[in-house]
Structure 1
Amino acid sequence: MFGWTPDGFWNATPEELAALVRAAGGEEAAPPDGAVIARLKEQFPDG
């Protein structure tokens, strides 16, 4: 249904599977606000 290989499916995290099911069900996630983006930049710097 999702076009994943069996290996891709079985190696997916619960969060990845939940996101896929939400996307297939039409649920829309709110975009991150500035504070979330700043926190992500701190946690995952580019360089």
Structure 2
Amino acid sequence: MSTFPWGDAMGFGLGVLRLAPRDFWTMTPRELASAWSALLGERPGPLGRQELEALMAQFPDGR
């Protein structure tokens, strides 16, 4: 198990996002990760079979 990358997290939150220290320290790691993903344009992986089938059922092709 590795330790949390506090240096990277603080550098990103305080330096890149320019959050006030109070705002940075009230964020959850999940919120910080979401901001990181949004800024870097990272997207989740491809849809799984169940997600695809749900979308196909919700938005069927017209025939």
Length-normalised TM-score, structure 2: 0.40
Aligned counterpart in structure 2 of residue 17 of structure 1, from 20, 27, 32: 32
Greater share of helix? 2
**How far, CA to CA, are the matches of 1:21 and 1:13 in structure 2?**
12
Over the aligned positions, Cα root-mean-square deviation in angstroms equals 2.1
Q: How far did residue 3 of structure 1 move?
A: 2.3
Counterparts of 2:43 and 2:18 in 1: how far apart (Å)? 21
Aligned residues: 31
Whichever residue aligns with residue 23 of structure 1, its letter is: A
* Partner SS state of residue 42, structure 2: coil
Which one has a bigger Cα radius of gyration? 2
Q: Name structure 2 gaps, 5 residues minimum.
A: 1-15, 45-63
